[in-house]
A and B are shown apart, each in its own frame.
Chain A
Amino acid sequence: MVFREDFPMLNKDIIYFDNSATSLKPKKVIDKMVDYYENYGANAHRGDYDISYKVDIEYENARDEIVEFINAKSKEEVIFTSGATESLNMIAQGFFANIVEAGDEILITTSEHASNVLPWFRLANDYGCVINFIPLDENLHVTMENVKKSITPKTKIIALAQITNVVGDVRPIKEIAKLAHENNIFLVVDGAQSAAHMKVDMQDLDVDFFVFSAHKMLGPTGVGVLYGKKELLENLEPINLGGGMNESFDNPKEIYLKDLPTRLEAGTPNIAGVIGFGEAIKYLKNVGMEQISERERHLREYLVEKLVRIPHIDIINLEADSGIVTFNVDGIFSQDVAYYLNKYNVCVRAGNHCAKILKNSTGVTNSIRVSLSFYNTESEIDEFVELLKNKEKIMEEMI
């Protein structure tokens, strides 16, 4: 594959199947950040000299890339954060904490990642909201019917991942947004697992908030995005106050803040990270999101078709429209399988994958997860499947 040579980590003689945890980074992204540190490493928002002016230009170019990538209406709707986790906490604490009332219901599912569960649990504990779970169907998917059934006159928020990190199902976000708005409900979407793997269009989906992390989409760690509709972000109280985001202040009663998006980006931002993120977005656009989705679906089918033929393998998510395959080897603890695979330089994740309440729905406490990316290959999958065919060999070598 032509893309593989762009990724330095792919020359390390490993099979990297843990792309849902973090993606690998193309050389261009790394170089872009090194270029900042080596050639114009000044602070942002201080444009009195040339290199600082260049920082502002590059920083805002990255924002423009993202505005276009997710089809937001304007720059004001794209806030840089440290990642999806911080974005979700800002939404819960900065926006919803000011408007929820005791008894308001928040709808989530048992397959959400911890970062789309705990901020809502805290809101429920602090303000007397009630957490309800949309039931999952037999494939662990969210159906419109079940969303409809879960809505009550008290439902205020629906918070869902677009793609979940264990089951890998793609939720019908556009339909859910329509239904939510017909019932005066806010829809918050965790795009951490989706933004790198499918086309996401904010205006088409019509979600209220959407969050994602750069490091899962070929970009650096420590940077992410909080997207929100402008009229909602206007009412999002900054959690952090400080430099860069204030207009002026004299005393506690007279604090004037800047406009969006800067108002929500206090302190010196992760400049190198943001600039690198912009480069990652360019790279994704160049490969093409449709092509990425199609390639990953193909790789998943290729893998599943081979795994179902192995009698001692139980696939937990047979049906999923993403690159995620979750399974167990009958009678062997998932972590032991992962250690065995590690001996052959195969990187997979074992455990509960931060979805600690999913076991309530599946009855499975832990599993092995393969998460594929477009840069993975059929021959890597062949090698991987070969390693799993002989259960005795796994037992023999797992220690």
Chain B
Amino acid sequence: MDKREIILQHYSKPQNKKRMESEEYTKENTRNSSCIDNLDIYIKIKDSYIEDITFDGEACAISISSASIMTKNLNKKSVREGLEYIKNFENMLNEKEYEQNILKEAIVYENTKNTSRKTCAWLPYDAAKKILEKNI
């Protein structure tokens, strides 16, 4: 599959897209001030491990697919590993050195050269990072 197909697949059939009411989950809202992307990220952390991670909300194809891929990749990782993964993703977006194999499918956003789309790809990560940093 080419990059575009991967993005479209995660957009049309996003994984882990569900709202979590349970108190076991920490919720963090993330939105783009210049547009209307608006997502909630839910993470259940137990013994410094990400036991479950989901998202819900309304956003563009890049943000939704990015959230889908992110939740898929972060699930069952330790909080430290999760933060390491997020750091790698951030480095990729900012054209710094990063480890490709950790990012898996998330490398499809490597070429979001248009800066506003870069913000879209980063959107779910911003919320996940906040939650994980509080639980390190």
Contacts and interface: CB of A to CB of B under 8 A. Distances in A.
Interface string B34-50: 01110000000000000
Nearest to B38: A365
Contact of B36 (A339, A365, A396, A398): A365
A399 B36 contact: no
B61 interface: yes
Contacts of B59: 333
A291 B28 CA distance: 52
30 contacts: A333-B58, A333-B59, A333-B60, A333-B61, A334-B36, A335-B35, A335-B36, A335-B37, A335-B60, A336-B60, A336-B61, A339-B60, A339-B114, A339-B117, A350-B35, A350-B36, A351-B35, A351-B36, A352-B36, A365-B36, A365-B58, A366-B36, A366-B58, A395-B8, A398-B61, A399-B4, A399-B7, A399-B8, A399-B61, A399-B62
A335 B36 CA distance: 8
Interface in B84-131: 114, 117
Nearest to B117: A339
A164 B117 CA distance: 29
Interface in B72-89: none
Contacts of A336: 60-61
Interface in A353-392: 365-366
Interface of A: 333-336, 339, 350-352, 365-366, 395-396, 398-399
A395 B117 CA distance: 16
Given A336-B61, A339-B60, 13 more contacts: A333-B60, A335-B36, A335-B60, A336-B60, A351-B35, A352-B36, A365-B36, A365-B58, A366-B36, A396-B4, A399-B4, A399-B61, A399-B62
A350 B58 CA distance: 14
A399 B4 CA distance: 7
Interface in B1-53: 4, 7-8, 35-37
B123 to A, nearest CB: 12
A363 to B, nearest CB: 13
Contacts of B117: 339
Contacts of A352: 36
Interface of A is mostly: mixed
B116 to A, nearest CB: 8
Contacts of A399: 4, 7-8, 61-62
Contacts of A396: 4
B113 to A, nearest CB: 13
A366 B32 CA distance: 14
A396 B8 CA distance: 9
Contacts of A333: 58-61
A358 to B, nearest CB: 12
A74 B82 CA distance: 67
A335 B119 CA distance: 13
Nearest to B6: A399
B118 to A, nearest CB: 13
Nearest to A342: B114
Contacts of B7: 399
B69 to A, nearest CB: 13
A79 B58 CA distance: 42
Contacts of B35: 335, 350-351
A336 B35 CA distance: 11
Nearest to A396: B4
Contacts of B61: 333, 336, 398-399
Contacts of B4: 396, 399
B111 to A, nearest CB: 10
Nearest to B12: A395
A69 B4 CA distance: 53
A320 B4 CA distance: 38
- Sorted nearest first, the 5 A-B pairs with minimum C-beta distance are A335-B60, A366-B36, A333-B60, A336-B61, A351-B36
Nearest to B7: A399
Between B4, B7, B8, B60, the greatest number of chain A beta carbons within 10 A of the residue's beta carbon is seen for B60
Nearest to A332: B61
A366 B36 CA distance: 7
Contacts of B8: 395, 399
Contacts of A351: 35-36
A240 B61 CA distance: 46
A351 B35 CA distance: 6
A336 B61 CA distance: 7
A339 B121 CA distance: 14
A166 to B, nearest CB: 13
A399 B59 CA distance: 14
Nearest to B5: A399
Contacts of B114: 339
A395 B4 CA distance: 10
A217 B91 CA distance: 43
